[in-house]
Structure 1
């Protein structure tokens, strides 16, 4: 049975499942689907698991993937990994069994005196997930020196929950601490 697993750690799931084939991409594109088709349609008498994991799923790739899921090859099980089920079309999700496997993440500690414009820029380039930004903000919350900083970080955490642009929230919080050094 084909599955969709929502997770914050692709590597742990890959090591846990030990699939026959792995397609791990930052963004899954139509070219990747062509490769997946080639691998999946190779005849095999034994069951084969193909794992597809991506941070982003291109809309054209999703439509091509949907065709494979609607008429899957014999003896092939597809497991799709994503950080959020909303990265995928409803039509794909409706054809998969959904499962969640989230792992405890390590604390992200920031040295307040090391916050510079270049540090902030490098952090923003990493395109951190919402949960990773929450860990950073919680670390900053512990280091807050006054009511203003406490209130601001609490507000920033609420903004993340409301899906306000995560990079804007993080950069604003870091700039506040930078100014108060």
Structure 2
């Protein structure tokens, strides 16, 4: 897939400003709107809808960049993503798919433009997860730092989605997003990881 083809999409990136400038340079004839926030909230979703219906003869690109998209805000975007106004394209920029609803991911292709980063190999089998495994996993990771905890959170989210053994509802997706947010705010990594894993175990099918 050409990541620079003009179409609605999700772009995974850890360089928001640089990626936005690349898009503007590539599609210089288009009219760009950029809505950027650490947390994409309902008020941002309303702004997106308002801008989408502004009349223009040019191709219009509305870029939404955020570390976290709240589930309520994502639900507000569903209809306009499915039925966008003429000549209007939406680009969601974020660093991970973990906090995006399945209904959002199913509507837009995903392009990964993240810098190469360390991959963490999970030492826990989510398909057979129980309290004993969970305790051993948490003990083995009791001294991790915030960066390692964030990578583990992303790995757990990907594996939970892949396994099909968990109820991936809005509450669980919000837990993944909130875990990243808590780590950014300086919460103890082991506390955040423990909280996430217990929530995950609750939703095992």
Same fold (TM over 0.5): yes
Please list every run of at least 4 consecutive aligned residues from structure 1 whose deviation after the TM superposition is greater than 2 angstroms. Answer: 159-171
Gaps of 5+ in 2: 1-6, 25-30, 121-139, 157-178, 192-205
Residue of structure 2 in register with 1:25 after alignment: 37
Matches within 5 A, 1:32-51: 32-51=44-63
In 1: Cα distance, 2:189 partner to 2:42 partner:
33
Structure whose alpha-carbon radius of gyration is higher: 1
Residue of structure 2 in register with 1:91 after alignment: 103
Shift of 1:52: 0.2
Gaps of 5+ in 1: 106-130, 135-151, 172-181
Which of 5, 13, 25 lines up with 1:7 in the alignment? 13
Count of residues paired in the alignment:
126
TM-score where L is the length of structure 2: 0.53
RMSD: 3.1
In 1: Cα distance, 2:93 partner to 2:190 partner:
26
In 1: Cα distance, 2:43 partner to 2:114 partner:
29
Which of 78, 81, 84 lines up with 1:72 in the alignment? 84
TM-score where L is the length of structure 1: 0.60
Cα displacement string for residues 128-159 of structure 1 (whole angstroms, at most 9, x for unaligned residues): xxx7xx9xxxxxxxxxxxxxxxxx99x738x6
